Structure 1
């Protein structure tokens, strides 16, 4: 019998935490004991794991005795407070927040791109999950970068409301239904109505005029792929429930034809090529929702520069953009590093 591992899911009642549980079940991760941890107001709820009831417990610094791996998706403040406590108790933390991503002693990992970085987990006992938009973009760009060396990236994202959480999902649903009934929209999660609208703001603005979300993509991509890549980003919230879309323009050192790009992406891990515009086949959020592959299409040369290419990249932000990526990291961790 293969070894089993004790797992804690921190933020188990949230959108990503719930998906982490589902991914552990789907991928048949070798779970021994599982603990669900959340805030005091969620403690006492009864969830399930593989058909058996699991009572949600309040998250405290003493919650990690005997835990091997702690999957965190409870926000940056809780990650900053509780990841060190979990690591001190002997657990390896895989954190979905932005709290540890740019810490030089914490690996920032996308398994299809830089799995070797997991080896550095021992410095702090923490591995960071990148931003959802960063994950899908680097999965698509990794094979192209390996072949032609990407010099510059210009990316615009069209991000689903599920990236904000369950309250945002409920708000979009409520606004759409209300507006169709002639009611004024209730606006609470976002600064403006999101139904039938697009908001060119995700997170707060910095002095540069960029948002924190945009700078996450810049800084995380450099840490994961190459420190000298030039990158600029515009992040937009759109009235879609699940699935982030991205328009990605790259400039490479050597020529990368459309045919070669398609050849590379067709065999790239974690990628599904969906690129037959003449037949109306291209990636869409509704097709990405519920699966773990990153869909890539609309591949065409950028005729304004010598070595340029445009791509359209779509993925389920809650699955590959968060929960699945974390579980994939855990799979490599127990397969290669933990004893």
Structure 2
């Protein structure tokens, strides 16, 4: 295999010093036009390409964004994060950035991995997912001034007017409100909600959309809470429709819950009862269940817009202001 041309090869071909070649590559304005043209011709003829490693040494930047890869746990809803990571990788590449995946099983492990990557100069910034109340990862990143954006809001007292850090999220309340309004218009006034136990920021936000849509019509309906899982959802909905035959539709906090609800209503001879999920995964599409789609591709674009700003490169940590600290993506309801 032929040896790749080096800076020294370019300098020899152009009849200049190595430093002059370096100046043409890094600060071309300081080089006389005729000399610069000679060096550029030599670069073109030799097919010289700067290595990423050399660029990193020169700029002290890796042009790399780190993101945690969740442990594989099976299930249904994980496909959303898969789509997000894929979209982030693709859009980062369009901006001249790379994505570095790293694994960790706990927030403490993730902090240690972020520390290793940041201290080693392997990443310029971090994207974290799955934020929660009192998240130690965001506290560590802020304390160590590592640029980052979260997919998920800080879950503070006021994440819009007074956010703790830069964030992008999907407007879950808007999604479940749209599903509830559709159910009220096409199924009837008895629209129940199947969600998670209180305390999950994401789950509480999605429940709020359902409550607000009902309240706008002067309605109150039952709420059922279970831990995530098709089997748990199936059992809970079987009990619900057995005790209340007035239920016209069920809005769910996730596609996993929606599939459980669908199995329960089908087994009870009520397959026509409308079910609405959240995530719009291939599983609910195959079963013909309506669902709210998060649009993770828009989330990825929002993350990079906040992280890089108009500069075209990762910016230093910025004070989170109400005007430029967050992107709230409007989901869309897919009706089947």
In the superposition, the TM-score normalised over structure 1's length comes to 0.38
From the two aligned structures, give the one with the greater strand fraction.
Answer: 1
